[in-house]
Amino acid sequence: WISDSLHEETGGTHPLYGHGVCKWPGCESICDDFGQFLKHLNNEHALDDRSTAQCRVQMQVVQQLEIQLSKERERLQAMMAHLHMRPSEPKSSPKPLNLVSSVTMSKNLPSTSPPNLPQTPTTPTAPITPMAAMPQVPSVLGGANVPSMGAMRRRHSDKYSMSLSSEIAPNYEFYKNADVRPPFTYATLIRQAIMDSADMQLTLNEIYSWFTRTFAYFRRNAATWKNAVRHNLSLHKCFVRVENVKGAVWTVDEMEYQKRRSQKITGSPSLVKNLPSSLGYGTALNASSPPGTMSGSPPTLMHMTHDELNGSLDHLDTNGHSSPGYSPPVHMPSVHVKEEPLNMDDDDCPMSLVTTANHSPELDDDRELEEGNLSEDLE
């Protein structure tokens, strides 16, 4: 996404415009040219309640990420200090990690287009893994969408899908409306749900809502998949339950999650070698690297915002202090963006306001859709 947004030379550039698409969170309106975009911007995103609410949420996102970033930076410096590495670029250029990587790359290759990544193993430069790690992803991302995918949920799905929302994003409408089982494990989905939340924590009920909101498939057989969700929350150490004023919320211990994932990938020696970088940060690079594919903005307001930083920032520090057994995982940024309406059997949380901004609430339509749709006989 770094480079693409700069490529816009259709007369003007705007942070909210790229690839002929409006990048306002939750909006993906196609604007053929810049003028059309401006018109769209003024019409659709004028100063009203909705826009200001979205703006506020975005502020939260940024705030959260800044906190994360500073933590990660500290950690990086501590790591480098520990390893007696000379920080080549520590403070001079306060860039996000993935930017740094691209910088180092362009350093290697002065002007020409990057032919093939001659990375040095030491630098966390361009992802080594993506290629190796995503062999299947494109098929999902790419046009030929998945219908048969539901059946193959078992193994590879999770392994290869390094970044969930990067994968959901382009297929958002598809999964939202088609009664197709998303090719991700429950653990992956739960994590994504939590990551997508403003403060990285969700109540069980909110997790349920995310499932039903995001996937048509999870609008039926509720007892089954809800049980599975609870089962996964309890089973996996990476999900940490935290007592809260609101009650109990669930958070992700990213360390645990990555640990678990890394164990799974252990099968591939070439990958294992790169684990530290490829899993933690590589994921991020991975997620953000294929620009053409999914710079599209996400279903919920900040999916993508989170996602793109997900790997690099969010990944590591949901529990900055990683106390093993019980981590006080999420430091709350004080402000709650999402006041869940306590009962939401259907989706009517503030976020969904955004969600439905460009996609009218069609749950009922979905119902019809799912009834007659794709017979799935997984069970």
Contact residues for DNA (CB under 7 A)? 152-156, 158, 184-187, 203-205, 208, 221, 223-225, 227-228, 230-235, 241, 247-248, 250, 263-264, 267, 378-379
Q: How far apart, in whole angstroms, are the C-alpha atoms of residue 368 and residue 358?
A: 21
Q: How far apart, in whole angstroms, are the C-alpha atoms of residue 195 and residue 60?
A: 14
Query: Closest separation between CB of residue 233 and DNA, Å?
Result: 6
Query: Closest separation between CB of residue 284 and DNA, Å?
Result: 20
**Choice between 152 and 335, CB closer to DNA:** 152
Query: Closest separation between CB of residue 321 and DNA, Å?
Result: 20
Query: Closest separation between CB of residue 150 and DNA, Å?
Result: 10
Query: Closest separation between CB of residue 288 and DNA, Å?
Result: 24
Q: What is the DSSP letter of 111?
A: S
Query: Closest separation between CB of residue 258 and DNA, Å?
Result: 13
**Choice between 67 and 204, CB closer to DNA:** 204
Asked if 232 and 184 count as a contact pair (C-beta separation under 8 A), the reply is: no
**Choice between 52 and 263, CB closer to DNA:** 263
The string of DSSP letters for 241-295 reads: EEEETTEEEEEE-HHHHHHHHHHHHTT-HHHHHTHIIIIIIHHHHHHHS-HHHH-
Asked if 279 and 261 count as a contact pair (C-beta separation under 8 A), the reply is: yes
How far CA 322 is from CA of 73, 91, 254, 281, 309, in Å, comes to 16, 26, 9, 18, 20
**Choice between 141 and 149, CB closer to DNA:** 149
**Choice between 95 and 155, CB closer to DNA:** 155
**Choice between 95 and 264, CB closer to DNA:** 264
Q: What amino acid is encoded at 258 in this protein?
A: Q
Q: What amino acid is encoded at 132 in this protein?
A: A
